Amino acid sequence: MTDLLSQPLTLPCGAVLSNRFGKAPLTEGLADEHNRANERLVRLYRRWSEGGAGLLVSGNVHIDRRYLERPGNVAIDGNGGLEWIKAYAEAGTSAGNHFWMQINHPGRQGAVTRDGTFPGPSAIPLKVPGRPPFETRALSEEEILEIIRRFAFVATTARECGFTGVQIHSAHGYLLSSFLSGLSNTRTDAWGGSLPNRARALLETVRAVRKAVGPDFPVSVKLNSSDFQKGGFTNEESVEVVRWLGEEKIDLLEITGGNYEELPWLEDVKPSTKRREGYFLDYAKRMQAVATMPLMITGGMRTRAGMEDALRSGGMDVIGLGRPMCVDTDICKQLLSRESNSAISYESALPVDPLVIAAGATPAEAKALEMWTNLVWFFVQIWRLGDGLEPQRDMTALEAYRIYRETEDRQTAALAPLDPPLRVAT
């Protein structure tokens, strides 16, 4: 019988992935105070490279240090440190796999701002249970065009420094994703209104990146199958955007869903979907009808049998693994060799303490805090890997949350001033 997981995949640009596993992009929070790569990221990605996946995708690499998803994000905007970007790329490709840089702008979903506001398509603040909304300002057209140039600049830097591809982040409510949604984009100019206008920021970014890196370099996109919000980006709209992305000849599309405003959506996944695995597989099958590029699905894939069934169904081409690789970094190698037949769902088996919820918290706020506390357990495991330590499987969720909160606060306080002024790619 053909081993589907070990089959190579030739991308439209001609590049070849050695197998069907992709390490999904995971925010790392390991950069230094200048938002530069360092030995911790080199150590982490060398270990992941040795883990057996044919493709690794980095966490957020931001195009503008003024706006960060986390204080420990890597950013490329004239802040130096290119020797470390090269070392980062070399480590991530050390086992002969592909290593792509995920390029992003957090938009209104940032956690660190240097000017007191976060930019978005419209002046509509993010509404997350339990967190006061940050001030959001609408981008001018000149700023939008500058952002597109910055994406292209970072993509060029990625290629020059040894990355083997790039992924444009247009999911989970970040800036390009927020342009797609009618809830966060209420503009009346050429960047809002109709779906073609709302998709313009993404499509123009893809075109600029492709022009910058050339036809033989993999360019991928991460896209929501749906925002799971009434009035937001729908699956029908997503299918249409997939069609347009095919016309731009992208090389891989990663399908995901949801955003920060709709964190608890996963709790509503049908039991049949959880049993079958692959939370977004049904959406991907709808997209497959119009997709001219391979599809990568991330979310819920845990058993070897379920992964093979998903590939055999024709709804996907690459299995994206995220959380399992924060603990078992060689799980792809284990699955390929049949040493293991499944990845552990640590999010289900996690030792969770009773959560301390602020007095007066609403059920939505309590649920958001519980899910976030669960998530940061994996952030802390990534930090341990970056420090050359083994994952701590018996760490409780609240212990991880305490470490996370203290570390993020310390990193924010230590961020270097933006001096000299930012250099903008033209």
- Can you give the pTM of this predicted structure? 0.93
Q: What is the pLDDT, as a whole number, of residue 209?
A: 98
Q: Which of 15, 87, 26, 11 is nearest to 56 (CA)?
A: 26
Residue 277 has pLDDT above 60, yes or no: no
- Residues 4-343, CATH architecture: Alpha-Beta Barrel (3.20)
Name the more confident of 88 and 419.
88
Within 13 Å of residue 78, how many CA atoms lie on the same side as its CB? 12
Residue 396: pLDDT band (50, 70, 90) is: confident
Residue 2: pLDDT band (50, 70, 90) is: low
Range with the largest mean pLDDT of 119-123, 132-136, 256-260, 308-312: 119-123
Choose the weakest-confidence range: 102-111, 129-138, 329-338, 404-413: 129-138
Residues 6+ apart with CB under 8 A from 182: 198, 231, 232, 233
Tell me which residue has tokens 């996907």.
316
Residue 318: pLDDT band (50, 70, 90) is: very high
Name the more confident of 265 and 15.
15
Residue 190 has pLDDT above 50, yes or no: yes
Which tens digit of pLDDT belongs to each residue from 119-170?
999 999 987 766 666 789 999 999 999 999 999 999 999 999 999 999 999 9
Token duo for residue 33: 């105070």
Beta strands 16-17 and 21-23: pairing type?
A: unpaired
- Bridge-partner residues for 253, per DSSP? 221, 295
Cα distance between residue 214 and residue 156, in whole Å: 9
Residue 421: pLDDT band (50, 70, 90) is: low
CA 192 to chain centre: 24
